Every structure is written in structure tokens, then in C-alpha cells.
């Protein structure tokens, strides 16, 4: 039996593995919440430092704030990962 539930930032493995072989994933980390992972995006997203981003947490809440750091993590036995840190503030959607 296969798992048909949708992956979320809390159910993706750490480090995250793409569901496509060799594809890069991007993790969005909330620097204001001890680097809590709030999103995983399939593909490489590289926003410039200072860019305002929004991450929709659920139907009633969104986290918004500026990007403070971006890193590319290269590994020898897995796909590359991009990590994006932002100082996010939780707000009503």
C-alpha cells in the first residue's frame, strides 16, 4: 500500500528528499522561531536577501517577512538543497 497523503513541511524527512529523482528542494526556515521549517518547495527557489515572502500556514494564518539568508547545500549522496531563512511574523490570512 502506498501513502497518498500530501507531504507538508512537517512530514518531509530531514533532510528532505525530493519525490523526483535528483531534483533540488528548497526549505523555508523561520529565523524568528528558532529556525523552524515552515515550507518545503520542490525545485530551487533563490530569493534575494531582503525580499518579502509569504508562507500560508493554514486557511486562516500566513507568515510574512524578509529573507535574511540563503544557502545552497551540496551533498555527495543526495540532491542539492536550498535553505532560505526569513524573519517571519504570523498574521491572520
**Quick one: which of 1, 26, 29, 6 has its CA closest to 16?**
26
User: Considering the entire predicted model, what is its pTM?
Assistant: 0.77
Rounded CA-CA distance 72/89 in Å is 24
57-90 tens-digit pLDDT: 888 989 999 999 999 988 777 778 899 999 999 9
Rounded CA-CA distance 14/87 in Å is 21
pLDDT reading at 8 higher than 80: no
User: Domain spans of the chain?
Assistant: 25-92
| Whole-number CA gyration radius for the chain | 14
15-63 tens-digit pLDDT: 666 556 667 889 999 999 999 999 888 888 999 999 999 999 888 989 9
Amino acid at each position: 500500500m502506498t501513502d497518498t497523503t500530501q507531504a507538508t513541511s512537517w512530514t518531509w524527512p530531514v533532510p528532505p528528499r525530493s519525490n523526483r529523482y535528483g531534483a533540488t528542494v528548497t526549505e523555508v526556515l523561520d529565523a524568528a522561531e528558532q529556525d523552524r521549517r515552515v515550507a518545503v518547495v520542490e525545485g530551487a527557489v533563490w530569493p534575494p536577501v531582503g525580499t518579502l515572502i509569504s508562507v500560508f500556514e493554514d486557511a486562516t494564518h500566513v507568515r510574512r517577512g524578509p529573507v535574511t539568508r540563503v544557502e545552497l547545500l551540496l551533498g555527495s549522496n543526495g540532491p542539492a538543497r536550498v535553505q532560505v531563512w526569513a524573519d517571519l511574523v504570523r498574521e491572520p490570512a
